[in-house]
Chain A
Amino acid sequence: MKRELRVDPTACSGHGLCAELLPELVTLDEWGYPIVARGPVPRSLDRHVRRAVTDCPALALKLLPTS
């Protein structure tokens, strides 16, 4: 199943850790909130993606089936 990275914006408090761990897919906006690349996560990044998801201090970063 193809999966994509999503942010639960109600949970995110803008720690910015995801952008540090996964600069390939996450940048921060001018207020410090993550902008996540849409679409299926490339296989090559699987390990980094999982790390970013589990390490998010607000548990706001999610790996969900592509919509």
Chain B
Amino acid sequence: MTYGTTVPYPSPFPGPQDSRPAGLGPARTGTEPPGADLPRLLPVHGAVPVDLRTHLSRYAAPPYFGHPGKLIPVLKAAGLTGRGGAAFPVHRKLQAVAEARTRPVVIGNGAEGEPASDKDKSLLWISPHLVLDGLQLAAEAVGSEAVALYVHRNARLQERLRAAVAERAAAGVDLAPVEIIDAPPRFLAGEESALASRISGQPAMPRFKPPRVFERGVVGRPTLVHNVETLAHMALIARYGPAWFRAAGTPEEPGSMLCTLHQADGRRDVVETELGTPLRDLLRLEGTQAVLSGGYHGAWVPAADAARMTLSNEDLKTAGAFVGAGVLVALPAGRCGIAETARVARYLALESAGQCGPCFNGLPRIAAALDEVASPRPDPRAVTDMIRWAGLVEGRGACHHPDGTTRFVRSALHVFREEIRNHSDGRCVDPAREPFLPLPADTALDATDWS
């Protein structure tokens, strides 16, 4: 079952401070577990930001363990995985950083560079204290006192977060002071090594690994980076335990996650849903030709296949897709999937940091070839060129930008193959070509936008 929480970020949110609607019973108090019911992270009908007083009355203060390391087995038992896209087991990252010989740095990653994703912004806006609780608990677990929250450039959001941090400092809720750090408005700004570079005072560009960020990250210190949603889940698992967390989701992929849903009618919502929810319960698939899962590094899935799948990597991987950071887009019938993918591929090519030869050379060529395939009676060599270039860029970047881009493009060539045949005959399902997939309004960024 899903509970839609429409989040009209960043418009002003009128209404009382406590958004709890009548009929839901009293607000939760103390450490009484709220049960497996959703939503866990965003209050019901909750476009109203939760202030510290409301947060503390609902959840009480973060349950510090009094010693590093103690949270780690709890997170392992819960089976929490990273909600930033990679789904890496959370406890393994914590363990690696906790074992380091030098004092680590802990960063909450709220740089939501994916243009189709709103969930981190919404979470930070509505439930900042869950994220900040998680950040403190993570810092305690790895024995760190250097803590920061990395969020994209949005004056209103940053102002609110600074106020939340000050409120907590005044109330003595936090163990370590929290700095708010500005992320540049780039697709790759949240990539871990780009983040570490930016917080160390360099441009937010990915670097070659090894060393991994957990070994040597911000100013050369071991660095724990977790997506802000992951931190919010952590804050609740620390309070209510692994069994509570596992009451939602599937045994293999437990818990809930935030998703940004793009319906075929153009509606865009952030919802919290259990892993394992049928995709047809999240997206209205009638009148939909294909579903994009995993955002612009993800993959297209034909709507007929998506109708049989749940929100899980177990199902999505059979179509070469994955859950990622929870971006799901329903592409309406009557739109050109090739033209849509070509437009986004061009954006992704421009978002290459330009550091790695294969990505710098290959991505613009792939995007241009896809533009050719999107045009009437394209050069028949365009597809074979594209596939050759895709093979040349994969696995050859410092980050996964080339790999994610080719995954997205290759899936389009497969899923929209009938449309490619249409183009060869000089026809297109949608000659008007009004853009559907969201892109930043102004993609003409200059070099200074990396820092």
Contact = CB atoms under 8 A, between A and B. Distances in A.
Interface of A: 7-14, 29-33, 35, 64
A10 B398 CA distance: 7
Contact of A32 (B357, B396, B397): B357
Contacts of A33: 357-358, 361, 396
B380 interface: no
B355 interface: yes
22 contacts: A7-B396, A9-B208, A9-B355, A9-B356, A9-B396, A9-B398, A10-B205, A10-B207, A10-B208, A10-B356, A10-B398, A11-B208, A12-B356, A13-B357, A14-B357, A29-B358, A30-B392, A33-B357, A33-B358, A33-B361, A35-B396, A64-B210
Nearest to B359: A9
Nearest to B355: A10
A64 B392 CA distance: 22
Q: Which among A11, A12, A29 has the highest number of chain B CB atoms within 10 Å? A: A29
B66 to A, nearest CB: 38
Given A9-B208, A10-B355, 6 more contacts: A7-B396, A9-B357, A30-B392, A31-B361, A31-B362, A35-B396
A64 B396 CA distance: 16
A29 B361 CA distance: 11
Contacts of B205: 10
Given A9-B397, A10-B208, A31 B358 contact: yes
Contacts of B359: 9
B357 A8 contact: no
A23 B207 CA distance: 27
A12 B396 CA distance: 11
Is chain B's interface secondary structure helix, strand, loop, or mixed overall? loop
* A-B CB proximity, top 3 nearest: A9-B356, A33-B357, A8-B208
A38 to B, nearest CB: 9
Interface residues on B, range: 10 to 19
B357 A12 contact: yes
Contacts of A30: 392
A8 to B, nearest CB: 4
Nearest to A32: B357
B358 A8 contact: no
Given A29-B392, A30-B392, A33-B357, A8 B398 contact: yes
Contact of B358 (A9, A11, A13): A9
Given A9-B397, A10-B398, A31 B208 contact: no
Nearest to B393: A29
Interface string B183-212: 000000000000000000000011110100
A46 to B, nearest CB: 21
B90 to A, nearest CB: 22
A12 B356 CA distance: 7
Nearest to A9: B356
Contacts of B392: 29-30, 35
A67 to B, nearest CB: 8
Contacts of B355: 9-10
Interface string B353-379: 001111101100000000000000000
B354 to A, nearest CB: 10
Nearest to A12: B357
Q: Which among A30, A33, A64 has the highest number of chain B CB atoms within 10 Å? A: A33
Interface in B389-437: 392, 396-398
